[in-house]
Amino acid sequence: MSTHHPERRLAVRSSRPDPVRWLTVMVVFSHRTIRWSLTRRTMLWMIGLVAGFSALAMIGSGYGFWATKKIMSFGRLQKETQEQQEQLRSSLDQAQALEAEVATLRQQHTELLKLLDPKAPAVAPLPAPSGQPAPAPTPTPPGVQERLSRLRQDLDYTAKQAAVVRARMEPVLRAWAHTPSIPPTAGYLSSGFGVRVNPFSRSNEAGDGLLGYHTGIDISNAIDTPIQATADGEVEEAGWMDRYGWGVRIRHNGEQETLYAHMNHVNVKTGQKVSRGDILGTMGRSGNATGVHLHYEVRLNGKPTNPQPYLRLQRQWVRALGKKS
């Protein structure tokens, strides 16, 4: 009996868990054995990474399915843009309406002057012959003088208001026309602005590492989806742009410019004047692109800024003007 005790103690010792090695995988060949051990911490890290990537994949798939249903046709986008611009124009026509009112008041003023003295000649009357009394002036109809006085006051006030409104509106309209404020194309947002994981090591606009800084937003849709200018401006660059592929860069004012990249076709030329809504080209996958999409940038003083607030700017203005009216 005593001779078997050491073997039992050895079996008990070998069955105890190793405090360092949590899992060991062995592959036995006829001439060698390969052993691979994992610690508990390493195993938890692997499980966490697998779970994290699975969750990201599920979220991405779900977002892609949701965004696909939210895709807006470009025709509908252009129609909505035109309707918003018409609402803006109708809401910002106060100066023209006041000037029309001034013209009407001036016409009424002229008519009242004629009513005061309908027989008055266009030139000064000749003096009466010597020895004859001068003709008596035409009597003023009752109430006309008071009405004329009020009309003159209204005319002066309205003219001043029209001048003030026009002075305020002209710089606002000029700045508004040259401010990016509408979506550049139809589709769904496939990549946002800021830090992101590179689709492949050399595709990022600002680096070749695993993590890079995305200097714009990506909008995905079918190939040859039209792309429109988001504000008035002048084309400063149109053609092949290295990693951006076929693209267009527009200068809108002294501070702002926009970039449209990875296009399939470019329809404008350098130096061309464009207006908000003009077609610049079509969506593609030229340059460093993993799929069909538009890379859209808004640059402020040469530095990229988040374009997403600019996509809703015109709609927000329309709503604000609607509330005021």
pTM of the model: 0.58
HEC string of 267-314 equals CCCCCCEECCCCEEEEEECCCCCCCCEEEEEEEECCEEECCHHHHCHH
Question: Do 218 and 289 fall within a single domain?
Answer: yes
In this structure, the number of other CB atoms found within 10 A of the CB of residue 88 comes to 17
Q: Which domain holds residue 302?
A: 184-316
Nearest Cα neighbor of 249 from 274, 224, 226, 214 is: 274
pLDDT at 137: 54
In this structure, the number of other CB atoms found within 10 A of the CB of residue 237 comes to 15
Cα 226 to Cα 248: distance, rounded to the nearest angstrom:
13
Is residue 31 situated within a structural domain?
Answer: yes
CA–CA–CA angle 154, 160, 163 (5° rounding): 140
Is residue 259 situated within a structural domain?
Answer: yes
Is residue 150 situated within a structural domain?
Answer: yes
We report the CATH number of the domain holding residue 290 as 2.70.70.10
DSSP string, 208-264: SSSEEEE-SEEEE-STT-EEE-SSSEEEEEEEE-GGG-EEEEEE-SSSEEEEEEEEE
Nearest Cα neighbor of 287 from 264, 267, 259, 257 is: 264
Is residue 129 situated within a structural domain?
Answer: no
Cα 118 to Cα 130: distance, rounded to the nearest angstrom:
26
User: For the segment 210-233, what is each residue's pLDDT rounded down to a tens digit?
Assistant: 667 889 999 999 999 999 999 999
Question: Do 109 and 213 fall within a single domain?
Answer: no
Residues 98, 162 contacting (CB under 8 angstroms): yes
Is residue 79 situated within a structural domain?
Answer: no
User: For the segment 254-292, what is each residue's pLDDT rounded down to a tens digit?
Assistant: 999 999 999 999 999 999 999 999 999 999 999 988 899
pLDDT at 29: 72
User: For the segment 21-65, what is each residue's pLDDT rounded down to a tens digit?
Assistant: 666 777 777 777 777 776 777 777 878 888 877 776 666 555 554
The domain tally of the chain equals 3
Nearest Cα neighbor of 176 from 324, 321, 78 is: 321
